[in-house]
């Protein structure tokens, strides 16, 4: 696992994500979710690729259900790009071109 990927929960989400000076890609996932596991390595690659320009944070919605409720997560994987404390863009699911889609999300936010 990439050391660049941060993990956030209910206690530190606002400080880690909403108050970040950099755009933040948040991966809402759960350990039992197959598509979430499939895109995990891609999310880690992006954390390394954008280090210093954007943050990548993973939120386990099984461990932190209040965050899932707060952001209306009804299906996972759900990836949200936050900029200046607001949701900038979202990507639901894990289509075959997920790396391209996520790269475009991050590029538009930075």
Fold of 5-109: Glutaredoxin (3.40.30)
Q: How confident is the model at residue 2 (pLDDT cuts 50, 70, 90)?
A: low
Domain ranges of the chain: 5-109
78 catalytic residue (yes or no): no
At 90, list the tokens: 């979202």
Prior bond to 54 cis, omega within 30? no
pLDDT at 67 over 80: yes
Average pLDDT value for residue range 2-10: 90
pTM: 0.96
- Given the residues 17, 33, 59, 80, select the one marked as catalytic: 33
* Set 6, 36, 57, 81: catalytic member: 36
Active site residue 39: no
Residue-wise pLDDT for 14-44, tens only, equals 999 999 999 999 999 999 999 999 999 999 9
25: β partners: 56, 81
State yes or no: cis peptide before 77, omega within 30 of 0.
Answer: yes
């Amino acid at each position: 696992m990439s050391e660049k990927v941060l993990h956030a929960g209910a206690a530190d989400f606002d400080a880690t994500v909403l108050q970040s000076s950099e755009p933040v890609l948040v991966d809402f996932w759960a350990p039992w979710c197959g598509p979430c596991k499939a895109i995990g390595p891609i999310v880690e690659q992006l954390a390394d690729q954008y280090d210093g320009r954007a943050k990548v944070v993973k939120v386990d919605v099984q461990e932190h259900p209040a965050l899932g409720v707060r952001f209306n997560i009804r299906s996972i994987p759900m990836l949200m790009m936050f900029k200046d404390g607001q949701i900038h863009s979202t990507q639901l699911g894990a289509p075959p071109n997920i790396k391209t889609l996520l790269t475009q999300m991050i590029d538009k936010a930075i």
